[in-house]
């Protein structure tokens, strides 16, 4: 027992020594620095929040084990030079970490100093996406990078269906790099920044400079404006925009997080600022509700003396201090100590009045940085951890709509699930869903106090007129043609375009510019390419929407359906004495006749044994089969079916006959009452397999389609320029057919009655107006075209230009294909299967009866022993051929004779020998068979 106490004392002495050594290695104070402009909103809020964090750390002696945290704050006063000097001063005072700087511009500069002296630099306001961890390894962003803020804005733009935005930004690293990130994110959603408006940084920015810059925006097309500035300059931007009338309905303003800091920290706002930001959307870093957060909010009024409100970046300031504290605590636990050494690189340049020798390298800087990057804590801003790319996990923002004297939260954005009206914390517990249908935001009150989502663009009021290319056609001038001696155009396509433009809610000045010489039809592919090359702003005409064109331009909704059809010469198909054979093809006639005979035969087999009407001499039975078969065509057969199987077959066959006769009657009626046209060409299939020459319209996509898609040799294609050339080439046999788009063909056939379309339309296309890629005008014109279709104006324009016809009004149509077996093979299959099943069933029944009959014969005393063993197929046929009632009567007679003989004690043979003259003819026939 005494030894136990000795060991306890020794262990206690050893532990006390280790602890005393650890405590002795810890410094009395841990120095950290901060560089902020205390005259700014974020500077004021950050100072109060960091002081509160330092107080809370020092109040808990268990955190740093007795060491005191000392925070030195340097006021940079918005001066880059002052920020640099502040950082240099910290390097002379054994500072282990620096919070700041406040701006991204200075972060780029001071990070080089932090890299050299290995002092971690932490900032929650310098959020430039280009502050790379590879270039600046000792710089750590403790709030979400602006990369995520720009991602959120890009998804908002896409959510509301806008395609272009204008960017207003401060022309420094913070502004340029943030807008560059926005441009990249917009491109992911097929959106873009159409105009960039940089503003000079620093205090030199005045109302006059902002006014001179903003007056350009109403001349632009886009009405979606993103403002990425600082609080002071952003206020001026909105106040000037209000004066210029740019805060009215139709405009969309999206501000980055600088505006939410003003809204939260400045209350109340001055009336001028409040009035100028109505309807603006802005973002605020999302921080989930928690007990710790509510505790600081309740203390804030006392901490700030009511001078300023707490904003999200104040929460990040508080957490940043604690991140450093936990990293230092882990640093001490790892057995490290705070020490500094001279920098050999600095010693090489010592000289002059600069006291560079005082700056030393923090020996434990890499270890402390590693501890910071491995932070795993829950702060006021939520869970704090870093990904492998040194970005915070789960970045999220609140989407805010400024209304009246305050604001309303309309939703959230998170990198996990995009836009939603559900807090991100709830969505983190579900599978990620970034689909467009899952994106949601509450309703917004937009500038001008409207709840209607702005279109996001208008036609620019800069006096520029749209340059619209119009094909200067030589033929089919009913679609589009240039009025001789003028620069105006007319035609079906022109009237549709003018009618659609008149429905737009804004004025669209435009000028038609002819494309082509008017002596031949121009290339429509070249016309479309001219839009992509910025020769034209749009193209109007009979332009087919085909795949290769949609790759370089955007088309409107088709205003007329189109597709390729085949036109060929036709001749009248006159009636003849054999016209009644025309409804069915020869194969159809042959199969139908065969089935008549098959069904008659099957019914005879099924009825022969039980039905007297299907018995008799062979000639009579053959006649019965033929008569019954073909009389079913008219339902006049006199023979009745008595067996169940026979009735089943007849019912199915009568249904087949009903369908066939109805189809025949309808087709024959059409042949005899409607004028028919015939052509050796039956459709595009005939042209593909043939070798004849084929005509097409100059400039049409029909040529490339036939060559590339149908593998028709280009040498077989003949270019034709007008309807007159169509008719001439078809009449003299230069081409066997013409392939062209349906609207042209319809116009051609309205005056040429000797030709007709053959086969079916083999492509589905449409005509539309072409605009540059991502043009919002294409969307609005599509909506206008749909309105024209709904109110009937589109049809009226069509009737005006395309309904004239000089052909006879007599209804004519191309000879339709005959009725072929492929249209009825299902019926014949059903009937054939029914016949086969009936025959198999009948055969099984007969086999069973025959077996039972033979069993009775073998048991009869009158039957010879060898007879049962000599059964044959001929015997079975004889059994089947006998009538059912006759078989039954024979069996009864045999039974009576057998009984009588047994009573007399005789045999069948004796009976036959003793009384041969008493045997009936039936008995003799039966004995011969057996």
DSSP sequence for 558-620 = -SEEE-EEEEEE-EEE---TTGGGTTB-HHHHHHHHHHHHHHHHHHHHHHTTT-GGG-SSHHH
**% of the chain with per-residue pLDDT over 70:** 79
pLDDT for residue 485 is more than 90: no
- Tell me what the mean pLDDT of segment 688-707 comes to: 89
Higher pLDDT, 323 or 844: 323
Longest dimension (CA), the chain: 163
Average pLDDT value for residue range 577-590: 72
* The pLDDT of residue 316: 97
CA–CA dist 387, 376 (Å, integer): 11
Q: Which residues contact 234 (CB under 8 A, 6 or more apart)?
A: 227, 255, 258, 259, 262
For residues 32 and 113, the model is more confident at 32
Torsions phi, psi of 160, nearest 5?
-85, 0
Tokens of 327: 């990293």
Judge contact between 540 and 493, C-beta under 8 A.
yes
Calpha distance 150→146 (Å, rounded): 6
CA angle centred on 712, ends 473 and 735, rounded to 5°: 60
- pLDDT at site 818: 61
- Pick from 153, 147, 185: nearest CA to 391: 147
pLDDT at 528 exceeding the cut of 50:
yes
pLDDT of residue 805: 64
Q: How confident is the model at residue 909 (pLDDT cuts 50, 70, 90)?
A: very low
Cβ atoms of 838 and 602 within 8 Å: the answer is yes
Segment 663-687 shows an average pLDDT of 71
Mean pLDDT, to the nearest integer, of 455-478?
A: 84
CB atoms within 10 A of CB 272: 13
CA dist 318 and 315 (Å) reads 5
Which DSSP string corresponds to 458-516? ----SSPPEEEEEE--SS-TTTSEEPTTSS-EESHHHHHHHHHHHTSSS---EEEEEES
Judged against a pLDDT cut of 50, whether residue 924 lies above it is answered with no
Instruction: Give pLDDT, residue 889.
Output: 53
CA 61 to chain centre: 59
- Greater model confidence, 483 or 607: 483
Confidence check: pLDDT of 847 > 80: no
Helix (H, G, I), strand (E, B) or coil at 222: strand
Q: Average pLDDT, stretch 88-100?
A: 82
| Residue 813: per-residue pLDDT | 45
> Which phi and psi (to 5°) does residue 738 adopt?
-120, 135
Strongest mean pLDDT among 403-407, 411-415, 516-520: 411-415
User: Tokens 């935001």, residue?
Assistant: 441
517-529 mean pLDDT: 90
Residue 854 and residue 511: Cα distance in Å, rounded?
A: 103
Which tokens hold the place of 544?
A: 């087919």
Question: Mean pLDDT throughout 488-517?
Answer: 91
Which is it for strands 68-75 and 29-36: parallel, antiparallel or unpaired? parallel
3-state SS class at 30 = strand
SS3 (DSSP) at 242: helix
Q: What are the backbone angles phi and psi of residue 889, rounded to the nearest 5°?
A: -65, -35
Q: In this predicted model, which residue has the larger pLDDT, 836 or 767? A: 767
- 125: three-class secondary structure by DSSP: coil
Average pLDDT, rounded, for the chain: 82
Residue 903 pLDDT level (bands cut at 50, 70, 90): low
pLDDT above 60: residue 612: no
* Residue (of 253, 282, 346, 285) closest to 148 by Cα position: 285
What's residue 132's pLDDT? 80
Tokens of 117: 């002296």
Q: Are 131 and 381 in contact (CB under 8 A)?
A: no
DSSP state of 717: E
Neighbours of 612 (CB within 10 A): 12
pLDDT in tens, 435-456: 888 899 999 999 999 999 998 8
Of the listed ranges 376-390, 499-513, 546-560, the one predicted with least confidence: 499-513
In this structure, are residues 738 and 696 in contact, taking their beta carbons and an 8 Å threshold?
yes
Collapsed DSSP state (helix, strand, coil) of residue 139 = strand
- Who contacts 861 (Cβ-Cβ below 8 Å, separation ≥6)? 898, 901, 902, 907, 908
Apex CA 135: angle with CA 132 and CA 138, to 5°? 85
Beta-carbon neighbour count of residue 246 at 10 Å?
21
Q: Is the pLDDT of residue 425 over 70?
A: yes
Highest mean pLDDT (candidates 160-174, 572-586, 738-752): 160-174
User: Tokens 């034209």 belong to which residue?
Assistant: 536
- pLDDT, one tens digit per residue, over 148-167 is 999 999 999 999 989 899 99
H or E segment to which residue 538 belongs: strand 538-539
| pLDDT value of position 468 | 95
- 824-850 mean pLDDT: 79
Higher pLDDT, 176 or 825: 176
Q: How far apart are CA 743 and CA 629, in angstroms?
A: 52
* Percentages of the chain per state (helix, strand, coil), in multiples of 5: 50, 15, 35
Contacts (Cβ under 8 Å, ≥6 apart) of 491:
477, 478, 479, 480, 481, 801
Q: Are 138 and 114 in contact (CB under 8 A)?
A: yes
Q: Which of 23-32, 669-678, 808-817, 869-878 has the lowest mean pLDDT?
A: 808-817
C-beta neighbour count of 88 within 10 angstroms: 17
- The mean pLDDT value for 763-772 works out to 91
List C-alpha distances in Å: 423 to 380, 412, 416, 429, 683. Answer: 16, 7, 11, 11, 62
User: How many CB atoms lie under 10 A from the CB of residue 309?
Assistant: 19
- pLDDT for res 99: 94
Burial call 493-518: b when 16+ CB within 10 Å, e when fewer: bbbbbebbbebeeeebebebbebbee
Burial of residue 435 (number of CB atoms within 10 Å: 0-12, 13-18, 19+): exposed
Q: What Rg value do the Cα atoms of the chain yield, rounded?
A: 49
Instruction: Name residues whose C-beta falls within 8 Å of residue 226's C-beta, 6 or more positions apart in sequence.
Output: 153, 165, 166, 167, 168, 179, 182, 254, 255, 256
**Range scoring the smallest mean pLDDT among 148-152, 366-370, 609-613:** 609-613
In DSSP terms, which residues pair with 255 in a beta bridge? 227, 282
Q: Is the peptide bond before 228 cis (omega within 30 degrees of 0)?
A: no
118 phi-psi bin (left φ>0, alpha ψ -120 to 50, beta other)? left
Q: CA torsion 760→762→765→766, rounded to 10°? A: -20
| Structure-block tokens of residue 683 | 């459709």
Cβ of 925: how many Cβ atoms within 10 Å? Answer: 11
Q: Using CA atoms, how far apart are residues 691 and 681, in angstroms rounded to an integer?
A: 12
pTM: 0.67
pLDDT in tens, 709-733: 899 999 999 999 888 999 999 989 8
Helix (H, G, I), strand (E, B) or coil at 436: helix
Query: What gap in Å lies between CA 414 and CA 432, rounded to an integer?
Result: 11
| Per-residue pLDDT at 640 exceeds 80 | no
Is the pLDDT confidence value at 194 over 70? yes
8 A C-beta contact, residue 418 and residue 439: yes
User: What's the mean pLDDT in 539-554?
Assistant: 93
pLDDT of 861 > 60? The answer is no
Q: How confident is the model at residue 801 (pLDDT cuts 50, 70, 90)?
A: confident
> What integer pLDDT is reported at residue 614 of this predicted model?
64
pLDDT in tens, 36-75: 999 899 999 999 999 999 999 999 888 888 899 999 998 8
Q: Which of 717-721, 857-861, 888-892 has the highest mean pLDDT?
A: 717-721
In which band, very low, low, confident or very high, does the pLDDT at 279 lie, cut at 50, 70 and 90? very high
State the distance between the two ends of the chain, measured CA to CA, in whole angstroms.
123
∠ CA(345), CA(349), CA(353), 5° rounding? 135
**pLDDT score at 318:** 96
Tokens representing residue 685 in the block: 């299939």
755 — phi, psi (to 5°)?
A: -125, 165
Residue 173's SS3 state is: helix
């Amino acid at each position: 027992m005494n030894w136990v106490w000795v060991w306890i004392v020794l262990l206690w002495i050893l532990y006390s020594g280790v602890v005393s050594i650890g405590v002795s290695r810890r410094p009395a104070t841990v120095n950290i620095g901060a560089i902020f402009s205390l005259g700014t909103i974020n500077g004021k809020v950050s100072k109060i929040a960091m002081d509160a964090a330092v107080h809370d750390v020092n109040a808990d002696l268990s955190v740093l084990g007795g060491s005191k945290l000392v925070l030195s704050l340097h006021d940079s006063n918005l001066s880059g030079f002052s920020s640099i000097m502040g950082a240099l001063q910290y390097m002379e005072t054994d500072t282990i970490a620096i919070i700041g700087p406040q701006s991204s511009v200075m972060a780029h500069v001071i990070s080089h100093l932090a890299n050299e002296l290995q002092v971690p630099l932490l900032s929650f306001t310098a959020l430039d996406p280009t502050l790379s961890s590879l270039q600046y390894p000792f710089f750590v962003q403790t709030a979400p990078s602006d990369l995520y803020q720009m991602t959120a804005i890009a998804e908002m733009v896409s959510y509301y269906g806008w395609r272009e935005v204008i960017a207003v930004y401060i022309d420094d690293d913070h502004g340029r790099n943030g807008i560059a990130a926005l441009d990249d994110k917009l491109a992911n959603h097929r959106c873009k920044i159409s105009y960039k408006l940089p503003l000079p940084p620093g205090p030199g920015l005045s109302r006059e400079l902002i006014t001179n810059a903003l007056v350009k925006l109403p001349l632009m097309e886009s009405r979606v404006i993103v403002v990425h500035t600082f609080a002071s300059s952003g206020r001026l931007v909105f106040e000037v925009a209000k004066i210029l009338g740019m805060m009215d309905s139709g405009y969309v303003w999206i501000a980055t997080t600088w505006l939410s800091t003003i809204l939260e920290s400045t209350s109340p706002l001055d009336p001028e600022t409040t009035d100028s930001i109505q309807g603006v959307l802005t973002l605020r870093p999302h921080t989930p509700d928690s007990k710790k957060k509510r505790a600081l909010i309740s203390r804030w009024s006392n901490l700030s003396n009511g001078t300023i409100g707490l904003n999200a970046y104040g929460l990040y300031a508080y957490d940043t201090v604690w991140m450093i504290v936990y990293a230092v605590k882990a640093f001490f636990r790892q057995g490290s100590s705070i020490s500094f050494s001279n920098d050999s690189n600095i010693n090489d340049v010592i000289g002059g009045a600069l006291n560079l020798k005082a700056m030393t390298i923090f020996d434990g800087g890499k270890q402390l940085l590693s501890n910071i990057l491995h932070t795993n804590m829950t702060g006021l801003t939520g869970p704090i951890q870093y990904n492998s790319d040194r970005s915070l996990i789960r970045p999220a923002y609140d989407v805010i709509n400024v209304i009246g004297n305050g604001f309303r939260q309309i939703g959230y954005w998170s990198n996990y699930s995009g836009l939603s009206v559900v807090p991100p914390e709830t969505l983190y517990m579900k599978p990620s869903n970034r689909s467009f249908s899952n994106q949601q935001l509450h309703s917004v009150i937009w500038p001008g106090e409207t709840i209607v989502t702005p279109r996001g663009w208008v036609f620019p009021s800069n006096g520029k007129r749209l340059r619209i290319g119009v094909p200067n056609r030589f033929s089919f001038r009913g679609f589009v043609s240039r009025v001789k001696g003028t620069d105006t155009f007319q035609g079906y396509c022109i009237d549709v375009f003018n009618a659609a433009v008149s429905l737009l809610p804004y004025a669209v000045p435009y000028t038609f510019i002819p494309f082509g010489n008017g002596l031949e039809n121009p290339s429509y592919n070249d016309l479309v390419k001219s839009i992509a090359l910025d020769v034209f702003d749009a193209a109007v005409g009979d332009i087919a929407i085909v795949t290769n064109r949609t790759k370089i331009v955007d088309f409107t909704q088709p205003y007329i359906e189109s597709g390729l059809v085949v036109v060929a010469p036709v001749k009248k198909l006159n009636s003849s004495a054999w016209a009644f054979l025309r409804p069915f093809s020869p194969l159809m006639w042959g199969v139908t006749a065969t089935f008549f005979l098959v069904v008659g035969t099957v019914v005879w087999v099924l009825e022969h044994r039980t039905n007297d009407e299907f018995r008799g001499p062979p000639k009579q039975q053959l006649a019965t089969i033929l008569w019954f078969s073909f009389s079913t065509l008219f339902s006049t057969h006199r023979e009745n079916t008595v067996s169940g199987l026979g009735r089943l077959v007849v019912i199915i066959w009568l249904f087949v006959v009903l369908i066939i006769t109805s189809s025949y009657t309808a087709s024959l009626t059409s042949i005899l009452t409607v004028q028919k046209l015939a052509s050796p060409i039956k459709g595009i299939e005939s042209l593909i397999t043939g070798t004849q020459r084929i005509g097409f319209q100059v400039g049409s996509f029909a040529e490339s389609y036939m060559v590339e898609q149908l593998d028709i040799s280009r040498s077989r294609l003949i270019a034709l320029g007008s309807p007159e050339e169509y008719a001439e080439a078809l009449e003299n046999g230069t081409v066997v057919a013409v392939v062209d788009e349906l609207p042209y063909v319809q116009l051609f056939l309205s005056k040429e009655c000797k030709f007709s379309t053959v086969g079916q339309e083999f492509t589905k296309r449409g005509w539309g107006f072409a605009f540059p890629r991502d043009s919002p005008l294409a969307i609005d014109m599509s909506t206008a075209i749909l309105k024209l279709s709904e109110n009937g104006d589109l049809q009226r324009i069509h009737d005006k230009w395309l309904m004239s016809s000089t052909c006879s009004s007599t209804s004519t149509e191309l000879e339709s294909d005959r009725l072929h077996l492929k249209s009825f093979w299902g019926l014949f299959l059903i009937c054939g299967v029914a016949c086969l099943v009936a025959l198999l069933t009948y055969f099984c029944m007969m086999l069973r009866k025959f077996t039972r009959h033979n069993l009775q014969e073998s048991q009869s005393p009158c039957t010879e022993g060898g007879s049962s063993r000599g059964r044959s197929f001929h015997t079975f046929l004889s059994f089947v051929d006998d009538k059912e009632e006759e078989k039954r009567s024979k069996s009864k007679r045999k039974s009576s004779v057998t009984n009588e003989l047994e009573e007399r004690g005789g045999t069948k043979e004796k009976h036959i020998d003793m009384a041969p003259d008493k045997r009936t003819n039936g008995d003799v026939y039966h004995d011969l068979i057996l």
